[in-house]
Amino acid sequence: MELAIAIFIGLLYSCGIYLVLRRSIVKVILGIFVLGNATNLIIFLAGGVESRGKCFIPKSEEAADPSLILDPLPQALILTALVINLGIAAYVLALKYRYFEVTGTHDLDQMKNTDQP
């Protein structure tokens, strides 16, 4: 299962990098979103895919086997990364809106024309 997810993550990264290197600002934005999702999947894969048990042990089960306890840190990191990706998405979309107002196009090659008064 881990191998299939690792291959999928590699495909997501390659698609994200391809989109970031395109001329259209919309494709660049989509590439940033895809790269953020691929990073979240890497964190998810680092935490383990199999279901071993609980993340937290109640006080009634004091002598639980440590190998059956899940690590809650990757889940917390993914939640944090989702919030950061949402903030980046809002910022990039605001930049795209302003870019389109100034240039009137989505093509990044038109940015050369914005330097002239």
pLDDT at 57: 66
Residue 38 near residue 16, CB atoms below 8 Å: yes
pLDDT at 58: 66
pLDDT at 28: 85
> 2-50+69-115 in CATH: which number?
1.10.287.3510
Per-residue pLDDT of the chain (117 residues; tens, 9 = 90+): 889 999 999 999 999 999 999 888 888 889 999 999 999 999 888 877 776 666 666 666 666 666 666 777 888 899 999 999 889 888 988 988 888 888 787 777 766 655 555
Sequence ranges of the domains in the chain: 2-50+69-115
DSSP track, 50-109:
S--S-SS--TT-TT--GGGPPPSHHHHHHHHHHHHHHHHHHHHHHHHHHHHHHHSSSBGG
How far apart (Å, rounded) are the C-alpha atoms in residues 25 and 106? 6
pLDDT at 66: 65
Place of tokens 């990098």: 17
How far apart (Å, rounded) are the C-alpha atoms in residues 3 and 11? 12
| Global pTM value | 0.74
How far apart (Å, rounded) are the C-alpha atoms in residues 106 and 81? 28
